[in-house]
Protein backbone atom coordinates (compact mmCIF):
# COMPACT_ATOMS: atom_id res chain seq x y z
CA UNK A 1 0.00 0.00 0.00
CA UNK A 2 1.37 3.40 -1.02
CA UNK A 3 1.33 6.51 1.16
CA UNK A 4 0.46 10.10 0.17
CA UNK A 5 1.27 13.26 2.10
CA UNK A 6 -1.53 15.77 1.39
CA UNK A 7 -1.29 19.35 2.63
CA UNK A 8 -4.33 21.53 3.17
CA UNK A 9 -6.54 18.50 3.78
CA UNK A 10 -9.17 20.17 5.97
CA UNK A 11 -11.27 21.44 3.06
CA UNK A 12 -11.69 21.66 -0.69
CA UNK A 13 -9.22 19.96 -3.01
CA UNK A 14 -7.06 18.56 -0.20
CA UNK A 15 -9.94 16.94 1.67
CA UNK A 16 -11.36 15.53 -1.57
CA UNK A 17 -7.92 14.19 -2.50
CA UNK A 18 -7.64 12.25 0.75
CA UNK A 19 -11.03 10.68 0.11
CA UNK A 20 -10.22 9.84 -3.51
CA UNK A 21 -6.84 8.29 -2.72
CA UNK A 22 -8.11 6.26 0.24
CA UNK A 23 -10.96 4.95 -1.93
CA UNK A 24 -8.31 3.80 -4.38
CA UNK A 25 -6.28 1.93 -1.76
CA UNK A 26 -3.78 4.53 -0.56
CA UNK A 27 -2.84 5.57 2.96
CA UNK A 28 -2.86 9.34 3.49
CA UNK A 29 -1.12 11.72 5.84
CA UNK A 30 -3.65 14.54 6.02
CA UNK A 31 -2.30 17.90 7.20
CA UNK A 32 -3.96 21.13 8.23
CA UNK A 33 -4.58 23.53 11.09
CA UNK A 34 -8.15 22.51 11.94
CA UNK A 35 -7.80 19.46 14.16
CA UNK A 36 -11.52 18.73 14.35
CA UNK A 37 -11.77 18.40 10.56
CA UNK A 38 -8.83 16.05 10.37
CA UNK A 39 -10.28 13.96 13.19
CA UNK A 40 -13.56 13.76 11.27
CA UNK A 41 -11.67 12.42 8.24
CA UNK A 42 -10.02 9.77 10.41
CA UNK A 43 -13.38 8.80 11.89
CA UNK A 44 -14.88 8.54 8.42
CA UNK A 45 -12.07 6.75 6.60
CA UNK A 46 -10.25 4.86 9.37
CA UNK A 47 -7.08 5.39 11.42
CA UNK A 48 -5.36 2.67 9.39
CA UNK A 49 -5.92 4.73 6.23
CA UNK A 50 -5.56 8.35 7.43
CA UNK A 51 -2.99 9.83 9.80
CA UNK A 52 -3.84 13.39 10.93
CA UNK A 53 -0.92 15.81 11.14
CA UNK A 54 -2.13 19.03 12.75
CA UNK A 55 0.19 21.96 12.02
CA UNK A 56 0.41 25.27 10.20
CA UNK A 57 2.57 24.83 7.10
CA UNK A 58 4.20 28.20 7.86
CA UNK A 59 5.64 26.76 11.09
CA UNK A 60 8.79 24.87 10.08
CA UNK A 61 9.41 23.49 13.59
CA UNK A 62 5.86 22.13 13.80
CA UNK A 63 6.33 20.61 10.35
CA UNK A 64 9.53 18.87 11.51
CA UNK A 65 7.75 17.54 14.59
CA UNK A 66 4.85 16.20 12.55
CA UNK A 67 7.17 14.41 10.12
CA UNK A 68 9.23 12.96 12.97
CA UNK A 69 6.06 11.70 14.65
CA UNK A 70 4.76 9.77 11.65
CA UNK A 71 3.90 6.16 12.56
CA UNK A 72 6.11 3.58 10.86
CA UNK A 73 3.38 2.50 8.47
CA UNK A 74 2.96 6.10 7.24
CA UNK A 75 6.63 7.13 7.19
CA UNK A 76 7.42 5.89 3.68
CA UNK A 77 5.95 8.72 1.60
CA UNK A 78 5.37 7.81 -2.05
CA UNK A 79 3.43 10.89 -3.12
CA UNK A 80 3.58 14.51 -2.00
CA UNK A 81 0.52 16.60 -2.89
CA UNK A 82 1.50 20.25 -2.43
CA UNK A 83 -2.03 21.58 -2.12
CA UNK A 84 -2.00 24.02 0.82
CA UNK A 85 -2.39 27.59 -0.36
CA UNK A 86 -4.61 30.63 -0.16
CA UNK A 87 -5.39 34.08 -1.45
CA UNK A 88 -5.96 37.15 0.72
CA UNK A 89 -7.55 40.31 -0.58
CA UNK A 90 -8.50 41.64 -4.01
CA UNK A 91 -7.18 45.19 -3.73
CA UNK A 92 -4.91 46.62 -6.44
CA UNK A 93 -1.24 46.48 -5.52
CA UNK A 94 -1.03 50.15 -4.58
CA UNK A 95 -3.78 49.66 -1.98
CA UNK A 96 -3.07 46.11 -0.83
CA UNK A 97 -2.38 45.11 2.77
CA UNK A 98 1.28 44.12 3.06
CA UNK A 99 0.37 41.61 5.79
CA UNK A 100 -1.88 39.79 3.30
CA UNK A 101 0.99 39.63 0.84
CA UNK A 102 3.28 38.14 3.49
CA UNK A 103 0.74 35.46 4.43
CA UNK A 104 0.43 34.40 0.79
CA UNK A 105 4.19 34.26 0.28
CA UNK A 106 4.73 32.34 3.53
CA UNK A 107 2.00 29.82 2.70
CA UNK A 108 2.09 29.46 -1.08
CA UNK A 109 5.85 29.77 -1.61
CA UNK A 110 7.99 29.31 1.49
CA UNK A 111 6.02 26.51 3.13
CA UNK A 112 5.80 24.55 -0.14
CA UNK A 113 9.55 24.85 -0.73
CA UNK A 114 10.43 23.86 2.85
CA UNK A 115 8.16 20.80 2.94
CA UNK A 116 9.25 19.63 -0.50
CA UNK A 117 12.93 19.83 0.47
CA UNK A 118 12.30 17.89 3.70
CA UNK A 119 10.52 15.05 1.88
CA UNK A 120 12.70 14.87 -1.24
CA UNK A 121 15.20 12.30 0.11
CA UNK A 122 12.35 9.90 0.90
CA UNK A 123 10.63 10.53 -2.41
CA UNK A 124 13.87 9.91 -4.33
CA UNK A 125 14.62 6.74 -2.37
CA UNK A 126 11.12 5.41 -3.10
CA UNK A 127 10.93 6.69 -6.70
CA UNK A 128 7.80 8.55 -5.71
CA UNK A 129 5.88 11.47 -7.15
CA UNK A 130 5.17 15.15 -6.49
CA UNK A 131 1.92 16.78 -7.59
CA UNK A 132 1.57 20.50 -6.94
CA UNK A 133 -1.60 22.53 -7.15
CA UNK A 134 -0.66 25.68 -9.00
CA UNK A 135 -3.20 27.88 -10.75
CA UNK A 136 -4.11 29.43 -14.06
CA UNK A 137 -3.49 32.68 -12.16
CA UNK A 138 0.20 31.90 -12.55
CA UNK A 139 -0.23 32.19 -16.34
CA UNK A 140 -3.15 34.58 -16.87
CA UNK A 141 -3.08 37.75 -14.79
CA UNK A 142 -6.18 39.54 -13.53
CA UNK A 143 -6.71 42.78 -11.56
CA UNK A 144 -6.18 42.27 -7.84
CA UNK A 145 -4.23 39.06 -8.40
CA UNK A 146 -0.82 40.66 -7.70
CA UNK A 147 1.00 38.53 -5.07
CA UNK A 148 -1.40 35.58 -5.33
CA UNK A 149 -0.73 35.37 -9.07
CA UNK A 150 2.99 35.77 -8.46
CA UNK A 151 3.01 33.02 -5.85
CA UNK A 152 1.20 30.65 -8.19
CA UNK A 153 3.57 31.46 -11.04
CA UNK A 154 6.30 30.44 -8.61
CA UNK A 155 4.46 27.22 -7.72
CA UNK A 156 3.98 26.34 -11.39
CA UNK A 157 7.61 26.95 -12.31
CA UNK A 158 9.20 25.59 -9.13
CA UNK A 159 7.40 22.34 -9.84
CA UNK A 160 8.70 22.23 -13.40
CA UNK A 161 12.20 23.04 -12.09
CA UNK A 162 11.91 20.05 -9.73
CA UNK A 163 11.11 17.93 -12.75
CA UNK A 164 14.38 19.04 -14.33
CA UNK A 165 16.47 18.50 -11.19
CA UNK A 166 14.97 15.07 -10.53
CA UNK A 167 15.84 13.81 -14.01
CA UNK A 168 17.12 10.26 -13.76
CA UNK A 169 15.78 9.61 -10.25
CA UNK A 170 12.51 8.01 -11.32
CA UNK A 171 10.52 10.63 -9.40
CA UNK A 172 7.51 11.90 -11.34
CA UNK A 173 6.58 15.58 -11.01
CA UNK A 174 3.39 17.32 -12.15
CA UNK A 175 2.07 20.87 -11.97
CA UNK A 176 -1.75 20.93 -11.96
CA UNK A 177 -3.03 24.42 -12.77
CA UNK A 178 -6.78 24.77 -12.22
CA UNK A 179 -9.07 27.64 -13.02
CA UNK A 180 -12.31 28.23 -11.12
CA UNK A 181 -12.93 25.58 -8.45
CA UNK A 182 -15.74 26.03 -5.92
CA UNK A 183 -14.16 25.52 -2.49
CA UNK A 184 -13.61 27.78 0.54
CA UNK A 185 -11.05 29.72 -1.54
CA UNK A 186 -13.16 32.84 -2.08
CA UNK A 187 -14.57 32.78 1.45
CA UNK A 188 -11.00 32.82 2.80
CA UNK A 189 -9.96 35.48 0.32
CA UNK A 190 -12.81 37.91 1.01
CA UNK A 191 -14.17 36.83 4.38
CA UNK A 192 -17.63 36.89 2.83
CA UNK A 193 -19.87 33.90 2.12
CA UNK A 194 -22.05 36.22 0.03
CA UNK A 195 -19.09 37.13 -2.19
CA UNK A 196 -18.23 33.46 -2.56
CA UNK A 197 -21.77 32.50 -3.51
CA UNK A 198 -21.95 35.36 -6.01
CA UNK A 199 -18.70 34.38 -7.73
CA UNK A 200 -19.74 30.78 -8.33
CA UNK A 201 -23.46 31.36 -8.97
CA UNK A 202 -24.49 30.14 -12.41
CA UNK A 203 -20.88 29.43 -13.43
CA UNK A 204 -20.94 25.63 -13.11
CA UNK A 205 -17.38 25.69 -11.70
CA UNK A 206 -15.13 22.71 -11.15
CA UNK A 207 -15.27 21.00 -7.76
CA UNK A 208 -12.67 19.78 -5.31
CA UNK A 209 -13.66 16.26 -6.35
CA UNK A 210 -12.89 17.05 -10.01
CA UNK A 211 -9.33 18.04 -9.14
CA UNK A 212 -8.94 15.18 -6.63
CA UNK A 213 -9.88 12.64 -9.29
CA UNK A 214 -7.34 14.23 -11.63
CA UNK A 215 -4.68 13.90 -8.92
CA UNK A 216 -5.56 10.25 -8.39
CA UNK A 217 -5.43 9.58 -12.14
CA UNK A 218 -1.97 11.13 -12.43
CA UNK A 219 -0.68 9.36 -9.31
CA UNK A 220 -1.75 5.97 -10.65
CA UNK A 221 -0.43 6.29 -14.20
CA UNK A 222 2.26 3.81 -15.30
CA UNK A 223 5.60 4.63 -13.68
CA UNK A 224 7.27 5.40 -17.02
CA UNK A 225 4.75 8.15 -17.82
CA UNK A 226 4.98 11.74 -16.52
CA UNK A 227 2.40 14.51 -16.91
CA UNK A 228 4.55 17.66 -16.80
CA UNK A 229 1.77 20.21 -16.43
CA UNK A 230 -1.99 20.12 -16.76
CA UNK A 231 -4.23 23.17 -17.03
CA UNK A 232 -7.94 22.76 -16.28
CA UNK A 233 -10.89 25.16 -16.46
CA UNK A 234 -14.64 24.73 -16.33
CA UNK A 235 -16.21 25.07 -19.79
CA UNK A 236 -17.77 28.34 -18.63
CA UNK A 237 -14.36 29.99 -18.08
CA UNK A 238 -11.73 31.02 -20.61
CA UNK A 239 -8.46 32.96 -20.65
CA UNK A 240 -9.41 35.85 -22.93
CA UNK A 241 -9.90 39.36 -21.61
CA UNK A 242 -7.32 41.95 -22.67
CA UNK A 243 -8.35 45.47 -21.64
CA UNK A 244 -7.70 48.93 -23.02
CA UNK A 245 -7.82 52.12 -20.93
CA UNK A 246 -9.11 55.01 -23.04
CA UNK A 247 -9.02 58.77 -22.57
Query: What tens digit of pLDDT does each residue of 223-239 get?
Result: 999 999 999 999 999 88
- pLDDT, residue 222, reads 97
Q: Which residues contact 176 (CB under 8 A, 6 or more apart)?
A: 131, 132, 133, 134, 211, 214, 215, 218, 229, 230, 232
Confidence bin at 133 (pLDDT 50/70/90): very high
Task: List the catalytic residues.
Answer: 148
Question: How close are the terminal C-alpha atoms of the chain, in Å?
Answer: 64
> What is the tens place of the pLDDT at every residue in 150-207?
999 999 999 999 999 999 999 999 999 999 999 888 888 888 899 899 889 999 999 9
Is this model's pTM higher than 0.85 or not?
yes
* Percent of the chain clearing pLDDT 90 (strictly above): 87
Phi, psi of 150 (to 5 degrees): -65, -40
Pairwise CA distance, residues 122 & 79, whole Å: 10
* Amino acid 150: pLDDT: 97
Q: Give the per-residue pLDDT at 11.
A: 93
Report yes or no: 74 and 29 within 8 Å, Cβ to Cβ.
yes
Averaged pLDDT of the chain: 95
Q: Where are the domains of the chain?
A: 3-232
Q: Classify domain 3-232 at the CATH superfamily level.
A: NAD(P)-binding Rossmann-like Domain (3.40.50.720)
Tell me the pLDDT tens digit for each residue of 54-77.
Answer: 999 999 999 999 999 999 999 999
pLDDT of residue 246: 75
pLDDT, one tens digit per residue, over 139-160 is 998 999 999 999 999 999 999 9
Q: Which of 181, 172, 194, 183 is nearest to 80 (CA)?
A: 172
Amino acid sequence: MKTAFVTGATAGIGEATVRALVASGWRCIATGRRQERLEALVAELGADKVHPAVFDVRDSAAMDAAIAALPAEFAGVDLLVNNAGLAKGLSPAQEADLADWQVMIDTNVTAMVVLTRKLLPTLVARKGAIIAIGSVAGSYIYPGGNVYAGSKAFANHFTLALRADLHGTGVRVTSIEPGMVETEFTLVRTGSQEASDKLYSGADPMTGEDIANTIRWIAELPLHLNINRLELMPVSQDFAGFRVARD
